[in-house]
Structure 1
Amino acid sequence: MSASIELKNVNLKFKLYSTKQMSLKEFLINKLNKKNYNKYKEFYALRDINLLFNEGERIGIIGNNGAGKSTLLKLISQIYYPESGFVKVEGSIAPLIELGAGFNQELTGRENIYLNGAILGYSEKQLKDMEEEIIDFSDLNEFIDTPVKYYSTGMYGRLAFTVATQIRPNILIVDEIFAGGDINFIDKARKRMDDIITESNIVIMVSHSLDLITKICDRVVVLEKGSVIYDGLPSEAIEFYKSRTNI
């Protein structure tokens, strides 16, 4: 199955609220006077984005904190939708973003395999077929029927990563997947990631590790304040980025 991603004239705005702590008296006065005490201002999280990602590309997204990197990945993954413009995606997506966000703390690891797997679009039959492999790979055999609220951060991360990477996609979207976690699990996880990257038609990766970006990617997009300011070869894009950030 072929894969491509097109973003055309995409804008995305967020509301930034500036509410302050009010006394009950202030609250009632504002209410009586019909004042909007939840004041906010709008800002562009992404502005005038025009990008085309084609089959076979490995794209790195870099920029300072708040540049819009993770927002762009969530837009492509259809977690967010544009204010204007359009995003067209051909191919199946595996977004490795905020792993475990769909877990229910009261449910066991096994139950969360089915819950999180369903959120990711897997069928019950697929999950039944994958269940034992997920448990084995995550090294959670003893704890799989324990509620995840009792899991350590490492156990939680192992289960979330294993579920998210069990089925191989056309398009892989990665956001700082190895920013932290269980050191004993990382080597095994990196090997799986290498395999997925090799098999995926398109890879889009956000990372603060410029060495990792250089190693994996053949194209790099630089974001600044929600806009694309450079799009080109990794070495050139990284040099441009460094020149603007004094790295």
Structure 2
Amino acid sequence: MTATAEDFVSDPVIIVDHVTKRFLKRNSHSFKEAFVGWVKGRKVRADSFPALEDMSIQIGRGEAVAFLGLNGSGKSTTLKLISGVLEPDAGQVLVKGRVAGLIEVGAGFHPELSGRENVYLNAAILGMSKKETEERFDEIVAFSEIGEFIDQEVKHYSSGMFMRLAFAVAIHVEFDILLVDEVLSVGDAPFKKKCYDKIDELMAAGKTMVLVSHDAGTVKKLCSRGIVISRGVKVFDGPIAEATAMLGK
């Protein structure tokens, strides 16, 4: 049997143990068709497809790991299972430590609230107390570089502004594991460098990071290990250079 990276994990903080996740694929293409079918007594067919099939992964404390693969491969589904957003249909996901997630740009933000109000809202969702948020508020705003726009409703923010504020909140939470899904692809070069420097600082402090990205340069810079997923199945687990090479990057 060929050894994989997970065979050498000495202190796992994330264990994905023989996990399967399926989603429904409805064959009724519109509400009108579904309604007509219901009136006529026809059942709406709903087939399922496997987003993940018997997935097993272990990630150790202090590791920086990238999930790689084509669109629809199961990368983001795996990340959402680790975050607790999704539950597996079979198998189990075990996580040791406090998790901060940047799964979607602006997730947890209310468009009708200001940036200031959303800092408190998002921080609370991530497990911070009001007192903790107050103590770190100035640092969060300074890192985000939102400045004069902090009291503007976030529905007027660009995707880049969303990302800056969301990232700034997440990295100022007390966490052990950081989950990041593509959001670092948004933003200009100086802010990206600032994010990379902050992640390097967090990794040096022993934090664990799991990253999903199509940007080979980003994953090579931030991660030492790559896990390639294809059609819901893990096909490679090893050095990041070999993982990106499998995808022709």
1:32 is aligned, of 2, 21, 39, to 39
Tell me, which stretches of 5 or more residues in structure 2 are unaligned? 1-10
Note the C-alpha offset of 1:115.
0.9
Query: Within the alignment, does 1:149 sit opposite 2:149 as a pair?
Result: no
Query: Within the alignment, does 1:5 sit opposite 2:14 as a pair?
Result: yes
The 10-residue stretch of structure 1 (63-72 or 216-225) with the greater mean CA deviation from structure 2 = 216-225
C-alpha spacing 1:152/1:205, structure 2 compared with 1 (3 Å): closer
Separation in 2, partners of 1:51, 1:78: 16
- 1:101-140 equivalences in 2 (<5 Å): 101-140=107-146
Show CA shifts across 1:13-58 (max 9, x none): 11122322465xx666533332224x32201111101111122322
Query: Within the alignment, does 1:18 sit opposite 2:27 as a pair?
Result: yes
Aligned residues of 2:126 and 2:173 also touching (Cα < 8 A): no
Q: CA RMSD in A?
A: 2.2
Aligned residues of 2:12 and 2:58 also touching (Cα < 8 A): no
Query: Within the alignment, does 1:53 sit opposite 2:59 as a pair?
Result: yes
Note the C-alpha offset of 1:225.
0.3
User: Which residue matches 1:82?
Assistant: 88
Show CA shifts across 1:179-222 (max 9, x none): 12245533323322222233243222222223333333232211
Separation in 2, partners of 1:28, 1:208: 40
Tell me, which stretches of 5 or more residues in structure 1 are unaligned? none
2:197 is aligned, of 182, 191, 200, to 191
Aligned residues of 1:172 and 1:200 also touching (Cα < 8 A): no
> TM-score of the superposition, structure 1-length normalised?
0.87
Note the C-alpha offset of 1:168.
4.5
Aligned residues of 1:168 and 1:200 also touching (Cα < 8 A): no
Aligned residues of 1:10 and 1:86 also touching (Cα < 8 A): yes
Separation in 1, partners of 2:127, 2:143: 20
The 10-residue stretch of structure 1 (127-136 or 178-187) with the greater mean CA deviation from structure 2 = 178-187
Query: Within the alignment, does 1:202 sit opposite 2:208 as a pair?
Result: yes
1:213 is aligned, of 215, 219, 242, to 219
Higher Cα Rg: structure 1 or 2? 1
Aligned residues of 1:135 and 1:144 also touching (Cα < 8 A): yes
Aligned residues of 1:169 and 1:200 also touching (Cα < 8 A): no
- Aligned pair count? 239
Note the C-alpha offset of 1:234.
2.6
Separation in 1, partners of 2:81, 2:35: 39
Show CA shifts across 1:219-244 (max 9, x none): 221101001111122333334x24xx
Aligned residues of 1:168 and 1:196 also touching (Cα < 8 A): no
